[in-house]
Amino acid sequence: MITALIVVLCVLAAFAVVGAATSIRVLREYERGVVFRLGRVMDKRGPGLVLLTPPIDRMVRVSLRTVTLTVPPQEVITKDNVPARVTAVAYYKVVDPNLAVIEVEDYHSATLQIAQTTLRSVLGGADLDTLLAEREKLNDTLARIIDTQTEPWGIKVTMVEIKDVEIPEQMQHAIARQAEAERERRAKIINAEGEAQAAAKLAEAADVIAVNPVTIQLRYLQTLREIGVNQNSTVVFPMPMELTSSLISALKPAIGQAEVEAQAPTPELPAAPAPATNGKGQSALPVSSEPAD
């Protein structure tokens, strides 16, 4: 009898230990528990110690930490018919554990599918330049659309980032040529602006020289100094017109006289008389008949 009583007590103790083990739960700070009692949802529990009634209560743990969701590469055709391969990442967290458990079977998988379809839809409506240059705007658009669709599930999408955009190699070469042409255009514009500024400064310098002619002499000396540094074999010395004007004035009379003499006609010499002839065409000059010695 005593032995049977001891056996019963041991069995009851074992059931009590098992019941205590199954009825006591400890939730961490970032966890919440969704308790179902006879199939009906109760208020969320946690963090800390949670007591359950084993026969009638069932608890589902839900993490409230931010989850990094990697979106697989998606094949996208942009608005300007350029194929691209886009990879993105999304960050979300559960803000309402009850809705995350009740409204959707697997909120992680559902959020992933929504992110994929939204990524293809949004990027398919943008051209390639927008996809490459305005990623922040596209990221905000993606996050807003995905968050709107996951809000009924108690999911908050905090951020979506486009990680990588792969385009065909031919398109990469075309973009490189376009960038090179753009850089050349900017270089020409900067060069033209520099020439315009230099012309304006030269005009100001000309005004200063016109007021004070001595400044041109200082410029001559500075130019000679620069030429001497280069060790050139030929030196061109600029001579101001003020130094040669007096010399030209003094030489004007001599130059005018030389021009007049050069333009005067040359006098003609008298022609020699023609020898006389007889009627037979022979010379009429007398011929000596004396014999030669």
Q: Which of the pair, 187 or 237, is modelled with greater confidence?
A: 187
pLDDT digits (tens, 9 = 90+) for 51-65: 888 788 888 899 999
Print the SS3 string covering the chain. Answer: CHHHHHHHHHHHHHHHHHHHHHHEEEECCCEEEEEEECCEECCCECCEEEECCCCCEEEEEEECCCEEEEEEEEEEECCCCCEEEEEEEEEEEECCHHHHHHCCCCHHHHHHHHHHHHHHHHHHCCCHHHHHHCHHHHHHHHHHHHHHHHHHHCEEEEEEEEEEEECCHHHHHHHHHHHHHHHHHHHHHHHHHHHHHHHHHHHHHHHHHHHCCHHHHHHHHHHHHHHHHHCCCCCCCCCCHHHHHHHHHHHHHHHHHHHHHHHCCCCCCCCCCCCCECCCCCECCCCCCCCCC
At residue 145, the pLDDT reads: 94
Does 284 score more than 50 pLDDT? no
The sign of the CA dihedral 250, 251, 256, 258 is: positive
Per-residue model confidence (pLDDT) at position 207: 81
Higher pLDDT, 24 or 13: 24
Residue 255's pLDDT band, with cuts at 50, 70 and 90, is: low
Specify which of 7-16, 141-150, 169-178 reaches the highest per-range mean pLDDT: 141-150
Backbone torsion region of residue 38, taken as left when φ is above 0, otherwise alpha when ψ lies between -120 and 50, otherwise beta: left
- Is 293's pLDDT higher than 60? no
Q: Once rounded to an integer, what is the mean pLDDT over residues 107-130?
A: 90
Q: Is the pLDDT of residue 190 over 80?
A: yes
Of the ranges 54-58, 83-87, 131-135, the best mean pLDDT one: 83-87
pLDDT for the residue numbered 132: 84
Pairing outcome for strands 155-166 and 57-63:
unpaired
The fold of 67-167 is Tetrahydropterin Synthase; Chain A (3.30.479)
Please say if the pLDDT value at position 291 is more than 70: no
**Model confidence band, residue 12 (pLDDT cutoffs 50, 70, 90):** confident
Region of poorest pLDDT, from 144-148, 187-191, 270-274? 270-274
Answer whether residue 262 shows pLDDT above 70. no
Q: Give me the pLDDT at residue 27, please.
A: 86
Query: Does a cis peptide bond (omega within 30 degrees of 0) precede residue 47?
Result: yes
Residue 280 has pLDDT above 80, yes or no: no
pLDDT value of position 258: 60
pTM for this entry: 0.58
Among 89-103, 124-138, 143-157, whose mean pLDDT is lowest? 124-138
The answer on pLDDT for 285 being more than 50 is no
Given a cut of 70, whether residue 264 has pLDDT beyond it is: no
